[in-house]
Amino acid sequence: MAYLDHAAATPVLTAVLDEVQRVAASLHANPSGSHAPARAARARLEDARDEIAGYLGVGPHEVVFTSGGTESDNLALRGAPAGPRVVSAVEHKAVLTAAPGARVVPVDGDGVIDLDHLEHMLDAGVSIVSVMTGNNEVGSLQPVDAVAEAARRLAPGALVHTDAVQSVGYVALPAADLVTLSAHKLGGPRGIGALVVRGSGAPLTPLMTGGGQEEGRRPGTEDVAGAAGFAVALRHAVKERPADACRLHGLGERLATGVSRVARRNGPRDTSGRLPHICHVTIEGCRAEDLLVLLDRAGVAASAGSACASGAVEPSHVLRAMAMTPDEARSSLRFSFGPDTTEDDIDAAVIAVLHAVRDLACA
């Protein structure tokens, strides 16, 4: 199968599997214990933390292990001090649902936030500003460093959070106080991620109560094997992704050009404004769920630009924020690539899309 859904989950790297299995088999003790096996587990956990911190250019004490991106987003938004939250309209649902009643910054037709509008929403009472680095649906890159500058000027004391789950390795870590990461978007294991908490004084209230793990920010026994696998995956991402970005941009252009007779590409046109591994298209008149069934039968794995809720396909909030109509949003597909994606995979996807549109007689 041509697997073109890397933005949802990446295949686990062989080196990651090897490390996870080795650590799980040899370091089974609780890292919070005091005996020799526990100390060995603690040492490997802290080695992984050191490695991750080094790849990110932060201090080890600033890396808080979590179960993944959703928990990290929730810890940032729910754990921030009381006060108004400011979020972009295209944030992941983990951010939006963790900040009910937030001030929502609109985006343009490419999915990029309006900085002027953001500035009008900032004041001294704001507790946190959350703007993702790269959008998980259309790939739009956001000016997070400019967001941080505006927040520090107009909302002194506010925390700045960014969800960098999709962008690690492709984009330098932004100058945010809080950064969300997830291993399974990097070729790492499921169920492990991190929240980078820059500085020693960022005030965060834990989501759960229990032990004092992760400097009191995230109680619960740490996943030593998962952390070790996360470190291996991140090492690979920061080493390989920058060199692979140009090739991935080319694959996206190949796909968009191949289906241009029946589809239009969404998001920024300039490659400098979007993530290299995401190509999002709209095929007007064709329902995404119908297209995906035919693509799956043809051996192409992709995803829709909408989410299923209670059995009904709802228009993507990201696409609606970009001023798409509900029908356009329901007719959109996301293709996303990784290191194993080839031109043959792209060509297979192009043929599958063209055949699906013909068979559905919807364009």
DSSP 3-state assignment of 346?
A: helix
- Are the beta carbons of 121 and 86 closer than 8 angstroms? yes
| Torsion of the alpha carbons at 24, 27, 33 and 37, rounded to the nearest 10 | 160
What's the CA gap between 93 and 78, in Å, rounded? 13
> What integer pLDDT is reported at residue 361 of this predicted model?
86
Domains delineated in the chain:
2-8+244-360 (3.90.1150.10), 14-236 (3.40.640.10)
Which residue carries 């692979």 as its tokens?
Answer: 244
> What integer pLDDT is reported at residue 26 of this predicted model?
96
> What integer pLDDT is reported at residue 306 of this predicted model?
42
- Are the beta carbons of 176 and 193 closer than 8 angstroms? no
The b/e string for 332-358 (b: 16+ C-beta within 10 A; e otherwise) is bbbbbbbbebeeebbebbbebbbebbe
> What integer pLDDT is reported at residue 195 of this predicted model?
97
> What integer pLDDT is reported at residue 362 of this predicted model?
77
Residue 286 falls in the annotated catalytic set: no
CA atoms within a 13 Å half-sphere pointing along the CA-CB vector of 352: 26
DSSP state of 220: S
> What integer pLDDT is reported at residue 179 of this predicted model?
98
> What integer pLDDT is reported at residue 203 of this predicted model?
82
What's the CA gap between 160 and 59, in Å, rounded? 18
Residue of 246, 286, 308, 362 with catalytic role:
308
Q: Could you list the mean pLDDT of each consecutive 10-residue stretch along the chain, which spans 363 residues?
A: 97 98 96 96 98 96 97 97 97 97 98 97 97 97 97 96 97 95 98 92 86 92 97 97 97 98 96 97 95 98 64 80 96 97 98 97 74
- Are the beta carbons of 125 and 117 closer than 8 angstroms? no
Structure-block tokens of residue 264: 């239009």
Amino acid at 242: P
